[in-house]
Amino acid sequence: MRRVLFKNKVNKKEKTTIPIFQFLAKSKTAKRAGLKIFAGKMKGSFLREPLFYLTIAFIFCLFFTLCFGLDSFSGNFSVLKADMINSGDLLFAESPKNFLLHTSGMALVGENSAIGISSPISITTQVLGSYAFEESRNEIIEHIVSEGETISSIAENYGISPETILWTNDLSSKTKLKEGQKIIILPISGVLHSVVRGDTLSGIADIYKVKASEIVAFNDLGEEDIYIGDILIIPGGKMPSKPKASLYASIPIGTSYFICPHINCHITQQLHYYNAIDFGGKCGDPVYASASGIVQKIDFGWNNGGGNNIRIEHPNGAVTYYGHIQKALVSVGQKVSQGEIIALMGGKPGTPGAGISTGCHVHFAVIGAKNPFAK
């Protein structure tokens, strides 16, 4: 026998006319009335109308989240541009294209580096600045020796081998550094090579027992040929037991073949790396071609610390190099005469193309012959 259970009829219209909007009313009286009606509906009716009450609960949760959740969330997540946090205690990168994304448990620096941090979020200038610098440095820098420093301690601080400092600065293992002495620091253990006539990438790689592809990649050479006077960093290279051929002893020249590249001929630094002499003056002073020849190459930018520079190839096979120039007044392939103005002196620290420099000067190097101004 089939039994039919009868239920009281429920007015559908009544079931859906709960004054929900009374909860949002400004009037306290209206809100109380809404609560009373809601409470009355709740008594024993959840089992009969679960979908209705679940809907009410969902709306309430959504309303609570919108009112209170966003403020709390926004305090723990943000994306800031470099110029917005590059002050005070916060620093993360020098490039304006980078950004810092941080939450209560993570800091994302740039595009591919994440650092876990604890709350409260705190990144100090020293720590993050050092991290960014050491990770991204791929250029030569100049280090001024402080009291008590040794070749080994400096090498350890920069994360390179002591031999790298010795080879780069033409020092011996018995050399004692002096306070205030300037030395060149490579970004990686290896050697520094100045390209001379006849050099090829494969030949250079053979000398230092490395792969030519590693030299190309580290120096960002691409398909460009190397030129006489180019300064290449050889990552992982070892100085051969036999010293490489002299850069300047192959061509005997008279004392009058080269003239001083600056009118005052005031030497501010004697012979230093790669057969060079520094001549001091004022930024904007004319720089003269030391001998007649053809402009071989002009570079702009950092260039491993050399800054903007011009190279001139001379009929005797030697090449002269003029570094830290402010402006080039000649073009590649142009014939120049001895004493012709080829550039304006630069080297003011902080200016574009100054390279490693402490003041206005021209770095005058001779490749393939002796520098006549060396004492």
Q: What is the pTM of this model?
A: 0.53
Q: Domain 141-185 adopts which CATH fold?
A: Membrane-bound Lytic Murein Transglycosylase D; Chain A (3.10.350)
Same fold: 141-185 with 267-367: no
The pLDDT score that the predictor gives to residue 57 is: 79
Residue 263 amino acid letter = I
**Distance, CA of 269 to chain centre:** 29
Residue-range domain boundaries for the chain? 12-74, 78-136, 141-185, 190-235, 267-367
Q: Are 307 and 354 in contact (CB under 8 A)?
A: yes
Name the strand (E) or helix (H) holding 73: helix 70-74
How far, in Å, CA of 369 to CA of 258, rounded? 11
Q: Take residue 182 and report the two structure tokens written for it.
A: 């300037």
Instruction: Kindly state the helix (H) or strand (E) to which residue 365 belongs, with its residue range.
Output: strand 361-367
Q: Which CATH class is domain 190-235?
A: alpha beta
Per-residue model confidence (pLDDT) at position 22: 52
Closest CA relative to residue 182, chosen from 272, 306, 276:
272
Q: Beta-carbon neighbour count of residue 79 at 10 Å? A: 10
- Tell me, what's the pLDDT at 172? 87
- SS3 for 96-117 is CCCEEEECCCEEEECCCEEEEC
For residue 43, what pLDDT is reported? 57
Question: What is the reported pLDDT for 56?
Answer: 78
Q: How many CB atoms lie within 10 A of CB 154?
A: 18
CATH of domain 267-367: 2.70.70.10
Kindly provide the b/e burial profile for residues 192-225, where b requires at least 16 CB atoms within 10 angstroms of the residue's own CB: bbbbbeebebeebbebbebeeebbbebbeeeeee
Give me the pLDDT at residue 28, please: 63
Judging by beta carbons within 10 Å of its beta carbon (0-12, 13-18, 19+), is residue 228 exposed, middle or buried? buried
Among candidate residues 261, 262, 321, the one with its CA nearest the CA of residue 297:
321
pLDDT tens by residue, the chain, 375 residues: 444 433 444 444 444 444 555 555 556 666 666 666 666 655 556 566 677 777 777 787 777 666 655 444 444 433 444 444 433 333 343 433 333 444 344 444 444 444 444 333 333 323 333 333 344 467 788 899 999 999 999 999 999 999 999 998 888 888 889 999 989 899 999 999 988 888 999 999 999 999 999 999 998 887 667 888 888 999 999 998 765 544 444 454 555 789 999 998 999 988 877 788 999 999 999 999 999 999 999 999 988 788 999 999 999 889 999 999 999 999 999 999 999 999 999 999 989 998 888 899 999 999 888 888 887
